[in-house]
């Protein structure tokens, strides 16, 4: 698989296919659907554990192969190069980076906004008390993650730019290690990582996505060719994700106990982290992508993507009956 660097620095072109919706009618299914996910992909973690998605796909003769990724960018890279078929799930910023690199993706579903599910953390005794205090500081952040945009938005609110800080681009586990060892001044992370770190280290929340900083939606995507050819598979995946999201919110303690075992995080911490997420899975609409354009413009202005991106110049898959 190509490196993340090669993905981002490959021939860059803004998506120019124009907005189109992929219908949800059935096509001939493949033998296996390859699903990529992150450790923080809660709904997929539940489905992978309980086997309900395998049961749903069995009548179609479709099996699942599961592939874990450290963060969203390499996951979408894998979709783009054909290593996996479906990605569950990535923060709102990640498809923007993928579009800037010319990836051919299709939005399949979204989780409603969860602004409190990511935050900028500082040590309890840190002298950093306001967003303006971040000037000149070294900050751990995962490149292209939703937390990356939260940092940009927070800096802008304080009248700063990205050039006013020194980023340390790190995956979540490495970011936490750098934070607890005081090798960085702040860490921008998402749940369940930040809630876990806050409880175990006493870290303070300097800011989260509230107060209009960042809505923080999470998206489920497929390769555009897969979405065009296998809507019957995607309809079942979509249905199971929505059902599982409702179950997690209706059964917070049971869900936390299940996930605690999978994540090696204490159940009360998982329950608190889950309370920050909406887990409300729904279809993607053109109007619903409005903040995606705001995110794209912010990254371009800061020189973090090399070309302007038209956020709605994407494929949108539509579930059956919508």
pLDDT at 318: 92
Q: Is the dihedral of CA 298, 302, 308, 313 positive or negative?
A: negative
Question: CB–CB of 254/244 below 8 Å?
Answer: no
- Are both 4-113+217-317 and 115-208 of the same fold? yes
Give the start-to-end residue ranges of the domains of the chain: 4-113+217-317, 115-208
Cβ-proximal residues to 32 (8 Å cutoff; 6+ apart), any chain: 62, 63, 64, 65
Give how far the C-alpha of residue 312 lies from the chain's centroid of Cα atoms, to the nearest Å: 18
CA nearest neighbour of 41 among 21, 66, 63: 66
pLDDT at 210: 87
pLDDT at 262: 92
CATH (residue range 4-113+217-317): 3.40.190.10
pLDDT at 288: 87
Identify the segments of the chain with pLDDT beneath 50: 1-28
Domain 115-208 has CATH 2.30.140.10: no
pLDDT at 322: 58
The predicted model scores a pTM of 0.86
| Beta strand residue intervals within the chain, DSSP E | 20-22, 32-38, 63-69, 86-91, 105-111, 118-122, 138-141, 166-169, 186-190, 204-208, 218-223, 281-282, 315-317
For residue range 136-170, list pLDDT tens digits in order. 999 999 998 999 999 999 999 999 999 999 999 99
């Amino acid at each position: 698989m190509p490196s993340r660097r090669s993905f981002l620095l490959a021939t860059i072109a803004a998506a120019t296919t124009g907005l189109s919706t992929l219908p949800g009618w059935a096509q001939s299914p493949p033998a296996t659907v390859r699903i990529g996910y992150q450790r923080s992909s809660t709904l997929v973690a539940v489905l992978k554990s309980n086997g309900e998605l395998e049961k749903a796909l069995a009548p179609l003769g479709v099996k699942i192969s599961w592939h874990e990724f450290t963060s969203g960018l390499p996951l979408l890279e894998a979709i783009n190069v054909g290593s996996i078929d479906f990605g569950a799930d990535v923060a709102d910023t990640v498809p923007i980076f993928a579009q800037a690199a010319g990836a051919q993706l299709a939005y399949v579903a979204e989780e409603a906004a969860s602004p409190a599910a990511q935050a900028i953390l500082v040590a309890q005794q840190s002298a950093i008390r306001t967003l303006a205090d971040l000037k000149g500081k070294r900050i751990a952040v995962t490149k292209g993650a939703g937390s990356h945009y939260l940092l940009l938005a927070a800096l802008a609110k304080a009248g700063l730019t990205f050039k006013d800080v020194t980023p340390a681009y790190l995956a979540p586990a490495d970011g936490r290690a750098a934070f607890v060892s005081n090798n960085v001044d702040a860490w921008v992370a998402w749940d369940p990582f930040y809630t876990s770190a806050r409880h175990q280290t006493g870290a303070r929340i300097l800011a989260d996505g509230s107060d209009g900083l960042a809505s923080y939606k999470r998206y489920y995507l497929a390769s555009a060719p897969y979405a065009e050819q296998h809507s019957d598979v995607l309809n079942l995946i979509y249905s199971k994700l929505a059902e599982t999201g409702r179950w997690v919110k209706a059964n917070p303690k049971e869900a936390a106990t299940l996930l605690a075992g999978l994540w090696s995080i204490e159940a009360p911490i998982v329950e608190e982290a889950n309370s920050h997420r909406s887990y409300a899975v729904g279809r993607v609409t053109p109007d619903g992508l409005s903040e995606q354009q705001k995110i794209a413009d912010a990254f371009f202005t800061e020189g973090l993507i090399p070309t302007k991106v038209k956020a709605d110049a994407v494929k949108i898959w539509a579930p059956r009956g919508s």
